[in-house]
Amino acid sequence: MPDTTPPAVTDLTFEKALEELESIVQQLEQGKVGLEESINIYERGEALKNHCERLLKEAEGRVERIRFGGNGRPAGTEPLDDDTPF
């Protein structure tokens, strides 16, 4: 009998987690699953949402913006969340 256990949420890429989360939302909106299954997939959906949020936060921390010097040319990079004006 094949293993039908879904992969661990933390093993999923952002894209795969989002795809599964969208599928769960569709299932819940259609109301074609029983109460127990709805609870189970809702809990997985919550874990997927948290995973996606964490991955996005990590990505934001790695994104940098380009600083420009007085001559209008790139002068380096700085963290995107730096509060200094462009």
pLDDT tens, residue order, the chain (86 aa): 666 788 999 999 999 999 999 999 999 999 989 999 999 999 999 999 999 999 998 887 776 676 777 787 777 766 666 555 54
Q: How far is CA 23 from the centre of its chain?
A: 15
Would you state the pLDDT for residue 70? 76
Task: Dihedral sign for Cα 45, 49, 52, 26, please.
Answer: positive
End-to-end CA distance of the chain: 59
Would you state the pLDDT for residue 43? 97
Would you state the pLDDT for residue 79? 65
Do the Cβ atoms of 58 and 13 come closer than 8 Å? no
Between CA 45 and CA 22 the distance in angstroms is 9
Would you state the pLDDT for residue 19? 97
